[in-house]
Structure 1
């Protein structure tokens, strides 16, 4: 059993992850900026702590991580077209989480990112999408260079479909969809598998079970 801090604890992937972790006996610690989320997330099985990603520093993050064994960065700046929040949440939130984990003495860190984040962007890419991809790319690079026991999971287009336990995990895959429930199952598997430390992989729907797919990317 482990205590897992989830940054962006009210997000859709996070809520699926809370269910999975609680169901297997772990303690998911949902970090959220609004107290009104507390009852909803506790009902899913989470411990809830307050953390405003944009207005907190790395020391605040370290305090929020107290007593946890691992950190999952699952936050995002939203789909409202706000370019600035791609920097303040997707990038700076990740950087503060990394530093906060160091200060809290937490080594294990799993980051949810975006498929193809290192690929060159076409000239006609929208400003919002460019900001999002560049934030994810830079956050992933920072985590890889952090010295932490990291794993980067770059998911395809997210859906709200039920879990299928049928996925494709590899260093590079063709773009496709993946349910948030299956993303959560993969994250949970990574957290308890030391063989996935130092692994950066992409995830879409596929034919393998989560257990087999994770076993196939161990280093």
Structure 2
């Protein structure tokens, strides 16, 4: 069983992921910014840790990550403020990768988005551009690192009931239930064939474990 550290531990996907991992008998630590969220995270079986990743430097993040086996990045600024989007989705994410390497915690799973690529096509004048730009920069840094990385790139997230099935490289937005994204993260952690791959997916008909197997 693994010791798994989740950044963005109070996010909608993370709150669905944590009980899945706990049920698999992993030891789960969830990093959150707001102490008011500790009880909700603890109710999933994860151990909440309050820390503001926006301001932690690499050394502080290294201390936080040390002792774990897997890092999951599911944090984000939530849009709205371009400066904070870059600070969290790009800069803090990159620091966490460098910290994971420094701590010797090589397995790193990034939750990204389906359009994250150099030619994402988002107009610079769009309010979505800072997010697209920041996520691509973070993903590119991870892909160029020596970590055992996987980038998960789901389509538009929904609150629909989970199906346990996905489609790789879907056409269009590839909308997908958040609960299925959580299940993909859990399956990715368990499957080393996902290392070194970017997996773009949406809702579909293939069982998750089969779909992501390399």
Same fold per superposition (TM over 0.5): yes
Cα-to-partner distance string for 1:141-162 (whole Å, 9 max, x where unaligned): 0000111000001111011122
1:198 corresponds to 2:193: no
CA distance in 2, matches of 1:13, 1:136: 17
Residue 85 of structure 2 corresponds to 86
1:53 to partner: Cα distance:
1.1
CA distance in 1, matches of 2:84, 2:160: 27
SS state at 1:114 partner:
coil
CA contact (8 A) 2:110 2:152 kept: yes
Residue 23 of structure 1 corresponds to 23
Residue 13 of structure 2 corresponds to 13
1:50 to partner: Cα distance:
1.9
Runs of 4 or more, structure 1, over 6 Å off, are: none
SS state at 2:128 partner:
helix
Alignment of 1:27-38 (within 5 A): 27-38=27-38
1:66 to partner: Cα distance:
2.6
Instruction: Flag the 1:122–1:7 CA change in 2: closer, same or farther, 3 A.
Output: closer
Residue 134 of structure 2 corresponds to 135
Residue 111 of structure 1 corresponds to 110
CA contact (8 A) 2:122 2:128 kept: no
Cα-to-partner distance string for 1:62-106 (whole Å, 9 max, x where unaligned): 121132101000011114x11111100100121011011012110
CA contact (8 A) 2:120 2:132 kept: no
CA contact (8 A) 2:19 2:45 kept: yes
SS state at 2:206 partner:
coil
1:125 to partner: Cα distance:
5.2
SS state at 2:16 partner:
helix
Cα-to-partner distance string for 1:148-190 (whole Å, 9 max, x where unaligned): 00000111101112211110124x6432211111001011111
Residue 60 of structure 1 corresponds to 60
1:135 to partner: Cα distance:
0.6
CA contact (8 A) 1:49 1:64 kept: no
Residue 39 of structure 1 corresponds to 39
Q: Could you tell me the TM-score, scaled by structure 1's length?
A: 0.92
Residue 69 of structure 1 corresponds to 69
SS state at 2:22 partner:
helix
CA distance in 2, matches of 1:47, 1:4: 10
1:122 to partner: Cα distance:
4.9
Q: Could you tell me the TM-score, scaled by structure 2's length?
A: 0.94
CA contact (8 A) 2:123 2:129 kept: no
Question: What is the number of residues matched between the two proteins?
Answer: 213
CA distance in 2, matches of 1:19, 1:117: 28
- CA-atom RMSD in angstroms: 1.5
SS state at 1:182 partner:
helix
